[in-house]
Amino acid sequence: MPLKALQAMWPIELPRLSERVQTSWFSQLNHIHGEKTEGGVRDAVLLAQGFVVALLEAELIEEPGAHLLGTTLLRVQNDAIARLHAANIVGQTATEVFLNKVQPSLSDQFTIIRGGLEGNRKATLQEVHDFLDACGLSPESAQWEGAMAGVPIEVDGTTIRFVRVT
């Protein structure tokens, strides 16, 4: 559920929670989304999970409310990790992603174009698969097949395209 939809549903689905609790929850979600490392995302998610459990234990929310908060948390976590992976693959924050022990064949290499800018390194087929998996795409989906064929995908508000090296 998008965050704006959750904010609209808050009084209906979670009526026993105060404005202060709502502000704290959205602050935690924003913190998760803004983390700069996967470890930071994981740590922030663990704190948010504890927050949900505490609300449930205090009987301030019931199981459907906990499910609503949990699925929102999962979506924010997946978005944050996909954003970090996208930055890593394009080479803006880490280049070790591309350090391979074996030279792959050219047919298994991709140029990555992010926001119209071509990356300075090539990605292997496995790295592209790992990226798409981190974005939550299924290998059986049409979106996965399209991305592998060079169709642009949208990740965290940025267009990314994989072009097979020929």
Residue 44 predicted with pLDDT over 90: yes
> Across the chain, what does the average pLDDT equal?
80
What is the Cα–Cα distance from 52 to 61, expressed in whole angstroms?
9
Q: Where does the chain have alpha helices with state H?
A: 3-13, 19-34, 38-57, 63-90, 125-134, 142-148
Residue type, 34: G
Per-residue pLDDT tens for 64-96? 888 888 888 988 898 888 888 776 655 444 444
Q: What is the pLDDT, as a whole number, of residue 54?
A: 93
Q: What is the pLDDT, as a whole number, of residue 155?
A: 81
Residue 45 predicted with pLDDT over 50: yes
The residue ranges of every structural domain in the chain are 3-87, 95-164
Q: What is the pLDDT, as a whole number, of residue 137?
A: 85
Q: Give the 3-state secondary structure of residue 133.
A: helix
Residue 56 predicted with pLDDT over 70: yes
Residue 138 predicted with pLDDT over 90: no
As a whole-number percent, the residues of the chain with pLDDT over 90 amount to: 13
Q: What is the pLDDT, as a whole number, of residue 136?
A: 84
List the one residue out of 134, 164, 137, 131 whose CA is nearest residue 148: 164
As a whole-number percent, the residues of the chain with pLDDT over 70 amount to: 84
